[in-house]
Structure 1
Amino acid sequence: MNFKGVIPAITTPFHEDLSVDFDFLKSHIQWMLEKGCTGITALGSLGESATLTFDEKVQILKACVEAAGDKPVVAGIAALSTREAVQLAQEAERVGCQGLMVLPPYVYSSSWEEMKFHVSSVIGATSLDCMLYNNPIAYKTDFLPEEMAELCADHPNLVAVKESSADVRRVTAIRALLQDRLTILVGVDDLLVEGVAAGATGWIAGLVNAFPEESVRLYDLSMQGQWEEARKIYEWFLPLLRLDTVLKFVQYIKFVQEKVGMGSARVRPPRLELTPEEAEYTRGLLQTALENRPVVGA
């Protein structure tokens, strides 16, 4: 599994009755891959995984694998119980996913001993390459570099970490302790350039769901060290990228998708769509972005 490049954390599209829109899901995946993304991550936070049934998750993974062709699909593995997380990991391998993104358990956050048991159970349940998802802001569990080292010692198939602490110093701390043992991926949109400068080589991106070309170009320029060219796109993109780091990030990103003609703003409760004031604010950001959209083609 190659965890480098721009790997969208894909949103889950819904019909009006809030059933999963598998046809759009497939076309959305193909569109982003055609624009240069290197794979797909499904069932993450942005994919509203917590509102999906187990069977829906499996069907979504099947659809992703079918749509992605020879590009890899990473399955987000999160559940209330360790048993269900292990079962989902095994189903992900069965349907053809090439990697796992392993989250701490929903709701329950406790000692390192318990968190280690949980993620170790998932990582050890398949032969797939795994990426640990560290998001202490959302999940109240902070995997420290020293704890990542423990997991690496036990699991050769733990090969990457999605670092979403929003602290760029974590990238340098992980690299200092583990060298190149783990591929580090930026997990928050508005830290991409800083994260790459510190040593990250992948991006699990959110606004890529609406702007894949700009996302891929920004990543490529950053990886090439073309900081001045990257800065021009980054400064243009940042007002939208910051939508990935707020409470209603799912609603904001889906709203932007709808307004650029690549999705629907529908979300499953308990999430509700944006208020009129929030929608108007986002519409203004998007209008400014579209009026000043950079040319990123070759």
Structure 2
Amino acid sequence: MISHRTKGVFAITPTPFKPDGALDLASLRPMTEWYLERKVDGLTILGILGEAQKLLPEESEAVVREIVAAAAGKSVIVGVSAPGFVAMRSLALKSMEFGAAGVMMTPPAAMRTDEQIAGWVRNAVRAIGEDIPFVLQDHPTATGVVMAPRVIRQIVEEIPSCVMLKHEDWPGLEKLTALRRWQQQGEMRPISILCGNGGMFLDFEMQRGADGAMTGYAFPEMLRRVVDLSEHDDGAASDIFDAHLPLLRYEQQAGVGLAVRKYILKQRGAIAHDALRTPGPSLSEEARDEVERLLRRLAARDPDCGSTS
């Protein structure tokens, strides 16, 4: 189970599809093994990168079942956010039955005020079960839900099953510092904080007290090295991060970013096809050329993890 002590690198995985849009079940085990070979501490599935909103309930369950079985005991966190609590409860319970380490959820866009946000989380926890450890995802650029630090503190203090924050506010460094300061002063109980946003601010986030990364960047080896080096050599961590920054920036494009990641992951052998389930963008010939140029540049600057193999 995940806990407030969970640290390291959790790779957010895509959901592989065939060119005709069918779920590519056969790719789930080799994809999982590919990530494990890159020494991640765990996987997070059925998030935004996983195109969870495009899956049927039985497809979501199949993805969880196959990946948890292939994860060889590594922690798997399952995104269960949905418009209604009935669907969230069903997937959360199935996920834990299959052996997941916890679930991740975030309030929907309609939640605007502090009380609405905290109230939604309380009700969601009642629905899925107060014994299931969960990750509170704070991703306002994607959801439109703005969680002030005080709201996060309120949720953490009120709900023991909230053991982790997926921090991906932008800008969010001051929020991260505020939460850690409250913990140090005994004004908020300890909580694990793993950071997303494609890894765009990982170097500074680690320096501000993050416990690691939870994102879908196509080179999890970089995330691993930056997180590990940040414990004793910020300079070396920043050097590696800087080598990847042009590709990180390119992956971060709204709309097309997922197609970029899937293209690279296919090139690297993580998935068999780079197809997105419709509706979803595809890369133009010009975009593919730009990605290939960035990959060559990365290989020259960081040969230890800059290849597509």
Structure 1 length normalisation: TM-score? 0.91
Equivalence for 2:99: 96
2:248 match = 241
- The Cα offsets for residues 60-98 of structure 1, whole Å up to 9 and x where unpaired, read as 111111011211110012112233223222222222111
In the other structure, the counterpart of 2:135 is: 131
* Counterpart mapping for 1:219-234 below 5 A: 219-222=227-230, 224-234=231-241
Structure 2 counterpart of 1:76: 79
Indicate yes or no: 2:157 matched with 1:153. yes
Note if contact 1:243-1:253 (Cα within 8 Å) is conserved in structure 2.
no
In the alignment of these two chains, the number of paired residues is 292
The residue that corresponds to 1:177 in the other structure is: 182
Alignment partners' CA distance in 1, 2:114 and 2:84: 16
Contact 1:10–1:206 at 8 Å: present in 2 too?
yes
Counterpart secondary structure, 2:119: helix
1:66 match: 69
- Listed one character per residue, the Cα deviations across residues 164-186 of structure 1 (whole Å, up to 9, x for unaligned) are 11221111011123446211111
Q: Secondary structure at the match of 2:166?
A: strand
Matches within 5 A, 1:169-208: 169-179=174-184, 181-188=190-197, 189-207=199-217
Residue 35 (structure 1) aligns with? 38
Structure 1 counterpart of 2:123, one-letter code: S
Q: RMSD in angstroms over aligned alpha carbons?
A: 1.8
For residues 22 and 120 of structure 2, what CA distance do their matches in structure 1 show?
Answer: 30
1:30 alignment partner, SS class: helix
Indicate if the aligned counterparts of 1:183 and 1:201 stay in contact, CA closer than 8 A.
Answer: yes
For 1:58 and 1:215, locate their aligned partners in 2 and report how far apart those are by CA, in whole Å. 28
Between 1 and 2, higher relative CO (CA 8 Å, sep ≥ 6) is seen in: 2
In the other structure, the counterpart of 1:163 is 167
Stretches of structure 2 that go unaligned for 5 or more consecutive residues are none
Shift in CA distance, 290/261, structure 1 to aligned 2, threshold 3 Å: farther
Matched residues in 1 for 2:180 and 2:228: separation?
A: 21
Compared with structure 1, are the counterparts of its residues 31 and 41 closer, same or farther at alpha carbon in structure 2 (3 Å cutoff)? same
Answering whether residue 296 of structure 2 is matched by residue 287 of structure 1, we say yes
CA displacement at 1:265 relative to structure 2: 1.8
1:8 Cα shift? Answer: 0.4
Query: Residues of 1 paired with 2:8 and 2:248: CA distance?
Result: 17
Judging changes above 3 Å, is the alpha-carbon distance between structure 1 residues 175 and 152 closer, same or farther for their aligned structure 2 residues? same
Q: Report the identity percentage.
A: 27
CA contact (8 A) 1:145 1:177 kept: no
1:217-274 Cα deviation digits (max 9, x unpaired):
122111x231222122111111122234321221111111122232232101211211
Q: 1 CA distance for matches of 2:226 and 2:112? A: 37
- Contact kept, 8 Å, 1:80 with 1:108, in 2: the verdict is no
Return 252-261 or 67-76, whichever deviates more: 252-261
Normalising by structure 2, report the TM-score. Answer: 0.88
SS in 2 for 1:115: helix
The aligned amino acid for 1:108 is A
Relative distance call for 1:243 and 1:174 in structure 2 (3 A) is farther
**Aligned with 1:161: secondary structure?**
strand
